[in-house]
Structure 1
Amino acid sequence: MAKPNIAPQSKGLDGRIYCDYSRLVRLQSQVGTFSLLPHLKAGSVLSGRHNSLFRGRGLNFEELRHYQLGDDIRNLDWKVTLRTGKPHVRSYTEEKDRNVIICVDQRSQMFFSSTQVMKSVIAAEIAAMCGWRVLKDGDRVGVVVASAEKIYHCKSQRSQHAFMAQLKLLAKANQQLSVDTTNSERVSFSLWLEQLKRMNLAQSTLVFITDWRDCDEHHLEQLKQLQIHNDVLAVLVNDPLEQTLPGELTKSNWVVGDGQYQLTLDSKEKVAQASATLSERSVLTRQSLTRLMALKQLPFIELDTSGSHIAQFQRLVGRQ
C-alpha cells in the first residue's frame, strides 16, 4: 500500500528572515503563473512542447555506422566515407529533456535586508519556483548552492523526490546564516564558477540567483564563455540600501565596511561619498549583466527586498 503524500510541516520560522522547507515545497502551487518556456505560435514547423529564448530539445549524436538503404543521405559523414571508402552516416537520437542548473547564493552577504525580506530568502524561494517549473515541463533540474561553508552540487534529475531533497539542503544552508556568519575561502565567486566548469556543461540552462557583489569583470568574461554553449540567466537580488544611503544616517554614526576596511558615517560628506560609491557599483553591475543577457536576448531580472519578489519574477520572466 502506497504511503500518503504528507505535506512537510512548517517550523514556524519568520519567513522574512529564514526560508522554511515547507514554504519551498508549497511554492510548487505558484508555477502555473509563469513560464521559462513560452510556446511557439501555432502552425510553426518547429512548434512543440518546448520553445523559448532558452535552449530546448534537439538532437544528440548517438553513433557512426555504415549506410543502410533508406538512410537520409544528408547524414552522410563524408570525411569517414572518403577515408574508409565505404559510406558512413551519423545517427542521432532526439534529446529527451533539457538540463537546468539553478545556482543559488546563500553566503553571508545574502543575509541582509533594510526593508522586508532577506536577500537569502528571496534567492531560495525564486530557486524553488524555477525548479518546480522545470519539473512541470518534464525536464531535469539540479541545484548548486553556495553556502557560507562550501559549495554543494546536486545532480540534475527529473524527479520530484530528488528535488525536494535539494530543497532541504537549500533550507538548511539558509537557516545556518546569521549576523555572525563569515564566508569560508572555499565559496568565492571564482570557485563557484570553477565548480560549474568542472561539470563540462553544454546545451544547458544556468540560472544564477545572487546579489553579484563579488562578481568582477573577469568573472563576467567566464560567464560569456559559458553563454556560448549554454544559456545563462542572471537574477540580481538587490536591496535599496546597497544602492544609495539616506542623508539622515549622519545622526546614527553608522560604521560600514567591506570586510577589510571600515568607515564611520559621521558627516554628510562621508555619507555622500559612500552613497556615490554604492550607486556607481550598482549601475555598473546592472550594465554588465544587461550586456551579458543581451548576448542571447534573455531578460535581465532584478528583484528587491520589498516582499513582492515572486510577483516581480513572474512579471519579468513572463506569465503564461
Structure 2
Amino acid sequence: MEYAESRAYQAGDEIRHMDWRVTARTARPHTKQFHEERERPVMLLLPFSQSLFFGTRVRFKSVQTARVAAVLAWKSCALGHRVGALCSRAGQHQECKPTAGERGVLDVLRALARMGRHGFPGEPDHDRLGPDARPGDAAREATDDDAGLLTRTLEQAGRLIRPASEVVLLCDWLQLDDTHQTLLGRLRERADLLLVQVADPIERQPPPAGRYPITDGLHGCILDTEDEAVNEAYKALLETRLERTRGLCARLGIRHVLIMTDDDPLLGLHGAVADARP
C-alpha cells in the first residue's frame, strides 16, 4: 500500500492512520488515505559475458541484448513502472536503481552505453593493463571473469530485488550451471522472472557445408561442417542446450523468450511483454 492523500477524519477511520502534521496545521483531525501500489519495480539484469560479443547475422549478441533492454525499459515506462538495471562485464559494473518516468529509462540507456565504451573483450585496455598489453591478455581476463559473472549478477540481484518486482534476465545462457539454477530459484520466490535468451542463428543451425576458422580470442580451430557426423552432433548439442533452458524455466515458473540477432526486438518481445502484470 502507498500513501494517496489526507482528508478530514470520519467516524470509523483507523486511529493509527491519523495524519498528525495536517491535524496540527489545520486544527482539525485528518487521516491518511492509502491505495494499492499500482507501479512495480522492473529490474533488468545484463551480464555481458565474452560470449555475447559474437555474431554472424546483422549484429553482435551484445548489441541485440542492449536493443532488447532498451525496448523493455521504454515499455516499462509506458506502463507506469519504475525501471532499473544491473549491467556488468569484465572490469565494469553499473547499477541503476528503479526510477519512474523517462529518467529511469535514460539511466538504463547510459549504463548500456558505458558497457560498450571500452570496445570488445579481445581489445586490450592499455590504461588498465599497461602499454605492453596484447589482445590475448584482455581476452584471457574476460574469459576468466565470465565463469562468475552471471553468478555475481544473480547474487547481487537477490540482495536488491524487492518482493513483487519484475526481473528480466538478458543473456545467451551459455554459462548455465547448478549454482545459477539455485540462485534463480531463490529469486523466483520473490519476483516474477522473464528470461530473454539472445542467440545467433549459428547457435541454432550449423552454417552451410564448409570449413570455418573460429576463435574465442585465445584459441583457434576449424569448424568442418562438410562432415555429416559433425553436423548432426552440432545440431544435437544446440537442441539439448535449448531444451535444458526451457525445462529449467518450466520447473521454476520462469517465462522464456528466445530472440535471434537478426530478429526485431519489438516483434520478439510482443507476447512476453503482454504477459507481464499491469
TM-score (normalised: structure 2): 0.70
- What per-residue deviation string (whole Å, max 9, x for no partner) do you get for residues 260-281 of structure 1? 8865434724454344323322
Residue identity in the other structure for 1:141 = V
Structure number with the higher helix fraction is: 2
- What per-residue deviation string (whole Å, max 9, x for no partner) do you get for residues 287-318 of structure 1? 323443xx2xx642111112423222224533
The answer to whether the 8 A contact 2:54-2:60 is kept is yes
- Structure 2 residue 184 is matched with structure 1 residue 223: yes
Q: Post-superposition shift, 1:132?
A: 1.4
Aligned length: 232
Give 1:309's match in structure 2, choosing from 265, 271, 275.
Answer: 265
1: CA distance, partners of 2:86 / 2:206: 33
2: CA distance, partners of 1:177 / 1:105: 16
Matched ranges for 1:1-320 at <5 A? 59=1, 70-71=12-13, 94-95=36-37, 97-178=39-120, 180=122, 182=139, 183=142, 185=145, 188-246=149-207, 248-249=209-210, 252-255=211-214, 264-266=222-224, 268=227, 269-292=229-252, 295=253, 299-318=255-274
- What per-residue deviation string (whole Å, max 9, x for no partner) do you get for residues 22-76 of structure 1? xxxxxxxxxxxxxxxxxxxxxxxxxxxxxxxxxxxxx369xxxxxx97257xxxx
SS at match of 2:42: strand
Residue in 2 that maps onto 1:56: none
Residue identity in the other structure for 1:120 = S
Cα distance, 1:253–1:208 mapped onto 2, change above 3 Å: closer
Residue identity in the other structure for 1:199 = L
The answer to whether the 8 A contact 1:206-1:231 is kept is yes
TM-score (normalised: structure 1): 0.62
- What per-residue deviation string (whole Å, max 9, x for no partner) do you get for residues 119-159 of structure 1? 11211111112111222222211111123323321111114
Q: Considering only aligned residues, what root-mean-square deviation do their CA atoms show, in Å?
A: 3.4
SS at match of 2:170: strand
SS at match of 1:233: strand
Identity %: 25
Residue identity in the other structure for 2:270 = Q
Cα distance, 1:271–1:203 mapped onto 2, change above 3 Å: same
SS at match of 2:91: coil
2: CA distance, partners of 1:158 / 1:101: 12
The answer to whether the 8 A contact 2:59-2:262 is kept is yes
The answer to whether the 8 A contact 2:81-2:100 is kept is yes
The answer to whether the 8 A contact 2:82-2:101 is kept is yes
Moved over 6 A (4+): 259-262
Residue in 2 that maps onto 1:20: none
The answer to whether the 8 A contact 2:96-2:107 is kept is no
Residue identity in the other structure for 1:154 = C
Structure number with the higher strand fraction is: 2
Cα distance, 1:166–1:318 mapped onto 2, change above 3 Å: closer
Cα distance, 1:285–1:177 mapped onto 2, change above 3 Å: farther
Q: Post-superposition shift, 1:112?
A: 1.5
